[in-house]
Amino acid sequence: MPKHAFLENDGVLAFAHRGDQDAGPENTLAAFEGAVQQGFGYLETDVHCTRDGQVLAFHDDRLDRVTDQRG
C-alpha cells in the first residue's frame, strides 16, 4: 500500500514545475505560493549544492538565464 496519496491516483497529476512564474521568479516562495493559489496540489523544484556546500533551488546548470551572473 503506497504511503503517499498521489501514488494511488489513476488520473493525471499536475505538478507546478518551478512554481507559477507569473507570480514570481521561478523556484521562489512567491512562485510556489502563486502555484498553490492557482490550485496546484503538487510542486516540483530542482535542488543543487554549490562547491562550497550551499543548497540552492535552481534549475539550470548555468547562471546566465535567470541571473545577471555568468557561469
Q: Residues with catalytic annotation? A: 17, 59
51-to-9, 25, 54, 57, 67 alpha-carbon distances in Å: 39, 24, 7, 15, 18
Exposure of 24 by Cβ count < 10 A (0-12 exposed, 13-18 middle, 19+ buried)?
middle
